[in-house]
A and B are shown apart, each in its own frame.
Chain A
């Protein structure tokens, strides 16, 4: 279902994943839950795009994966940031601030009332 929120989410999924992982390694489900919890369920991760995104980022070398065991003794694939991923996160965050700042400016200085 395409909502304004999910559209924005698509373009920034990578950034969200990187940021989530910056708190520590976790598996795909964990990333989804973290984002939902942080945003109090406003942002629901489109799970159809989560795993391809994870695989793409692994191919690019931003994250790495390893099989591990959860608390419930289940086998799960854990992802973690690589050095390149950390660097990418920093840059993306900086870009995001600039981007949102610019958009905010445009919105606020519109000649017509919103």
Chain B
């Protein structure tokens, strides 16, 4: 390989003359040959001709040589470029290193902006925009059953899915699936696992074959087939150490041994917005998991509207689609991402973090402009000694890009940490968040944004500095660029940062008040000292006698434990409940307005006293209540069903107008009315409608839940409780003991999660905005030092000076605040559905936002203000 340095030297001094080399050489050669011939006696003309003839096909040779020269030149240029680049980068790095604070601030700012954006956008993208990795995922929809009169949708059943699969022509594949909790035994302690029930066509639907073994076959789903199971990839890695020999091994689920026939790929997830990742898959058997979710794929080039139309007409004709409470249910199709129930908060967070990015860019622009101004003198000197303007610009650009690059690296780390934080902080009912990963596209986009900002403002700064190069040397001042246009741009930047911060502050204040209101809400029962333990018994566990024995034994044991004041068994922990849809009709015959969602709780007679709930009318259950078909309803429900009469003593039932008379459900007698309570968590307003049905064992709707109250200042006896649960339900993992307060907290987990994230972004924004403001004010003070000195020499007091600077600060903040609040006024309207107890234009939140902002601004400007008032006129005048 030719030594580059040698050729470099050649190129530098002889430059582009290389191409003519070959012509000169050949010419010389011909001339010498001719001279030779002439020496032998030929005439000049003949000699020349003969010489050229002798050279032969010189054109071809020349061409070849030119090609070689070309090749060398190109390589030369590449090396030259790399060399210059290396120099630039080294110089840029040194310059940045010499100002460590500035560099650190800039890099961290960029890093935070990019990281926060990447984390949040990855979450949004993973959940809403591209929630699943299936074949033709964009065409996958979720199918619900709904009726416009009811506000909610219902799960379809497996049979319905079968019907749709057979008859819908616009759908290319319909899959029913469900999730249940199962208990895994035989591998150490019994463990709870999440199982996905899928059909044999699931792998095909997803277009994702299993990575090991096989999927399910039609033979696996029939009644009486040998039980099989497919592990999920993550579960396989975690618990079986990715051992390929698991195929054929047996594990026991819900006391039933199942053979492992395959391992599913990590990409195979249940296509539902409601479920997170599952640990393993079992064949879907209708009798085991009747409530299913259904996903379907639209045929190519079929729109959702067209498919919906077909489903509507199918439902109108279908007999398999039984009406719910008289309302005909139609199949409703929703795109997969649209069904995510916390879509709105996520989008709001996305908006917030985008605003944060704007602030970050503004700050970075700021920093670069300020620095560019400070280096005007340096550039001026360099220009004066002959440096090429283009070179300087390129070097400044390199600096900005290096800065942006470092920021990106930090951004990557911050993004990763952010994602992990989101996953860790996520509420339990947002389990899909467990699955998100750092999206490389987002990172690239954010990086490009950073680089673009760096490049643009670096160039602006450089160009700006270069323009004033001549003057900078002449003036005695520090040569800082004071062009009014730049100054105005800085003001605008800072003002907009303040405006954005104000907006975010209002949003955060609103959400904080919402959460505070929710937490303060009276749950209707006494949550202090109340605990629950939720058992998850599979449906095939024992018969009714066995279950009743479990209940009585459990209660008996727990009631004797030290510190326990009272205990009962119900169908769900306090603050959670199952629910049904229904219209209720009353004995009087009048058809009341539809109620929609009614919480259903199975309760024993002592339920209300254990929970410390108030009965406003009638009495509690007794031993014969179940026999007599009695129910207790909540106050709100009573008011709705019997607006002008007492509910106690009346009869009601769930309405099913389509059913024939002898198939009508029986009337249930209302024996009591209980005060409203948060049966479905603090967040939902539907929690006011509740129906309690009498029970002994509370196992009709799933595993029994033990609810017990401890005496004041007593904490639950953990070991004894564990022993008791193991004794009554051996082979099942003892359930965790959850304080009622936790359950209530969990019920508003989404609001708390959103509030936490928004507050985090707001804090960041305010911090960055104040840093930006500090920079600008410090700069202004520096600029006006002479002016201040003169004023003070002429007799102005400290107060006047403070007022001077202060008024400028006040202007910036004032405009920013007003602009921000106006924007907030529009933006918060979209938050209405997430708020509780506050209006979007809540004056308290706005006031709080203003107060915080003003305080922070005051703190940020403290130092520059002090410097302004401490100006010594003697010194400044002397420096003239």
Tell me the A residues contacting B by CB distance below 8 Å: 27-29, 32, 46-52, 55-56, 58-61, 64, 74-77
Contacts and interface: CB of A to CB of B under 8 A. Distances in A.
- The interface size bin for chain B is 20 to 34
A73 B850 CA distance: 89
A28 B33 CA distance: 12
Q: What are the 7 closest A-B residue pairs judged by CB atoms, nearest first?
A: A52-B64, A48-B61, A55-B68, A29-B29, A29-B32, A48-B56, A61-B2
Interface of B: 1-3, 6, 21-22, 24-26, 28-29, 31-33, 54-58, 60-62, 64-65, 68-69, 71-72
Given A52-B68, A55-B65, A29 B28 contact: yes
Contacts, number: 63
Contact of B1 (A32, A60, A74): A60
* SS of A interface (majority): helix
With a 10 A CB-CB cut-off, give which of A28, A29, A46, A74 has the most chain B CB atoms.
Answer: A29
Contact of A56 (B3, B21, B68): B68
A97 B567 CA distance: 106
Contacts of B56: 46-48
A47 B29 contact: yes
A28 B25 contact: yes
A59 B1 CA distance: 7
23 contacts: A28-B29, A29-B29, A29-B33, A47-B54, A48-B56, A48-B57, A48-B60, A48-B61, A49-B61, A51-B25, A51-B62, A52-B68, A55-B69, A56-B68, A59-B2, A59-B71, A59-B72, A60-B2, A61-B3, A64-B6, A75-B28, A77-B24, A77-B28
Contacts of B69: 55
Given A46-B56, A75-B28, A51 B72 contact: no
A71 B57 CA distance: 28
A86 to B, nearest CB: 15
A74 B27 CA distance: 11
Contacts of B3: 61
* SS of B interface (majority): helix
Contacts of B61: 47-52
Contacts of A55: 22, 64-65, 68-69
A76 B198 CA distance: 85
Contact of B55 (A48, A60, A61, A64): A48
Contacts of B22: 51, 55
Contact of A27 (B1, B25, B58): B25
With a 10 A CB-CB cut-off, give which of B32, B55, B60 has the most chain A CB atoms.
Answer: B32
A76 B21 CA distance: 9
A32 B29 contact: yes
A47 B58 CA distance: 8
B55 to A, nearest CB: 5
B2 A58 contact: yes
Contacts of A48: 55-58, 60-61
Contact of B21 (A32, A46, A77): A77
Contacts of A61: 1-3
A76 B2 contact: no
Nearest to A66: B10
B438 to A, nearest CB: 46
A45 to B, nearest CB: 10
Contacts of A32: 29
A49 B24 CA distance: 16
Contacts of A29: 28-29, 32-33
Nearest to B72: A59
A96 to B, nearest CB: 24
Given A47-B56, A55-B22, A55-B68, 6 more contacts: A27-B25, A27-B28, A28-B28, A51-B22, A61-B2, A77-B25
Contacts of B68: 52, 55-56, 59
Contacts of A47: 29, 54-56, 58, 61
A10 B1 CA distance: 23
A55 B6 CA distance: 15
Nearest to A44: B54
Contacts of B54: 47
A76 B6 CA distance: 19
A2 to B, nearest CB: 12
Contacts of B55: 47-48
A19 to B, nearest CB: 20
A76 B25 contact: yes
A94 to B, nearest CB: 23
Given A28-B25, A47-B29, A47-B56, A52 B65 contact: yes
Contacts of A76: 25, 28
With a 10 A CB-CB cut-off, give which of A48, A56, A60, A76 has the most chain B CB atoms.
Answer: A48
B177 to A, nearest CB: 66
With a 10 A CB-CB cut-off, give which of B21, B28, B60 has the most chain A CB atoms.
Answer: B28
A75 B72 contact: no
A61 B28 CA distance: 24
Contacts of B62: 51
With a 10 A CB-CB cut-off, give which of A55, A58, A64 has the most chain B CB atoms.
Answer: A55
Nearest to A50: B61
Contacts of A64: 2, 6
Nearest to B66: A55
Contact of B24 (A50, A56, A59, A75): A75
A9 B2 CA distance: 26
A24 B1 CA distance: 22
Contact of B28 (A49, A50, A74): A74
